[in-house]
Structure 1
Amino acid sequence: MQTPDSYNQKNSLFNAMNRFIGAVNNMDQTVMVPSLLRDVPLGDKDDLKVAENGGSSDDTGNPSATNGRAYFQPDADMYSSYVLLKSIRNDIEWGVVQGDELRKDKVGVAGVEEEDDLEKQFRFHLNGLHAVLSKLTHKANTLTNRYKEEIGCGN
């Protein structure tokens, strides 16, 4: 078994999740009074771009699954972003409860075709997850820095 080089480790899903969780934990420790975030626009250009596209998307422009949540809203304030980021962190750490229709296995020819394409589906979703985690990590860091600016605390 080969040891992955540092570039591959840096880009591992596990490390991407840890970076996101670390950024949200830092945000959570920094934001002592979350109610101060209400009605303060985040001012992150990426949020507006993603919201205009109708939700999060991967590098190819394909929308990512959001389980019915509107992850990015153009009129979202820092407080709603704060709550959302913490919710996503909890979903990663504790898992997501899915509805019965998401658990049902497809039967018949479609099921066989899907099984043959599992590697392709896995790589597609893994790439999308990396992209989303990167954007969410950036969002958590931006919110932390904006909060510090709002309360007059420098880096």
Structure 2
Amino acid sequence: MQGTERQQQKSCFGTAVAKCSSAIYNMEQMVMFPSLLRDVPMEQDASTGHGTRDMYEYYIMLKSIKASIENGLIPLDEWNSKLTIMDKDADIVENPNLEELFYSHFGGLLHILNCLTKKANTLTKRYKDIIGMSN
């Protein structure tokens, strides 16, 4: 029974958003000197590959995403007007399978939120290692 309950908690959108926001908040509270994160690869054993982000870039990205989660991307009226313009300009399928689209996007969003939570937790742990506060 606990396994099923735990799985439901993992796939709950509100829980995923709360965990992500909490992890980013903890990261913000811990990281007092974001400049220490410059040129530090996100993964400890990461090679210096092309196009990889350093921890500072992840820090800025995570803060930005948290602000969007809490405040929204753009006002709803502006979003609705953009959708109306897109509907006029694009060939929209008359009867899309809305349930299928919903579950596809919902699953993707849950996956992204879980990945962002892991990145925030990893960044916080690595910052603690950098400043000598590792457990």
- What TM bracket, shorter-length normalisation? 0.7 to 0.9
2:53 corresponds to which residue? 76
Q: Is the CA contact (8 Å cut-off) linking 1:44 and 1:142 kept in structure 2?
A: no
Aligned to 1:118: 98
CA deviation vs aligned residue, 1:31-67 (integer Å, no higher than 9, x gap): 011111111111278x99xxx9xxxxxxxxxxxxxxx
- Deviation of 1:140 (Å): 0.4
Provide the aligned length of Structure 1 versus Structure 2: 126
Partner of 1:140: 120
Quote the RMSD (CA, aligned, Å).
3.0
Flag the structure with larger Rg.
Answer: 2
Q: In the alignment, what sits opposite 1:86? A: 63
Using the aligned pairs only, state the percent identity: 40
Q: C-alpha distance in 2, partners of 1:38/1:99?
A: 35
Q: Name structure 1 gaps, 5 residues minimum.
A: 53-72
Match of 2:41 in 1: 41
CA distance in 1, matches of 2:125, 2:40: 13
Corresponding residue number in structure 1 for 2:12:
12
Gapped runs of 5+ residues in structure 2?
none
**TM-score normalized by the length of structure 2:** 0.78
- Which one has the bigger helix percentage? 2
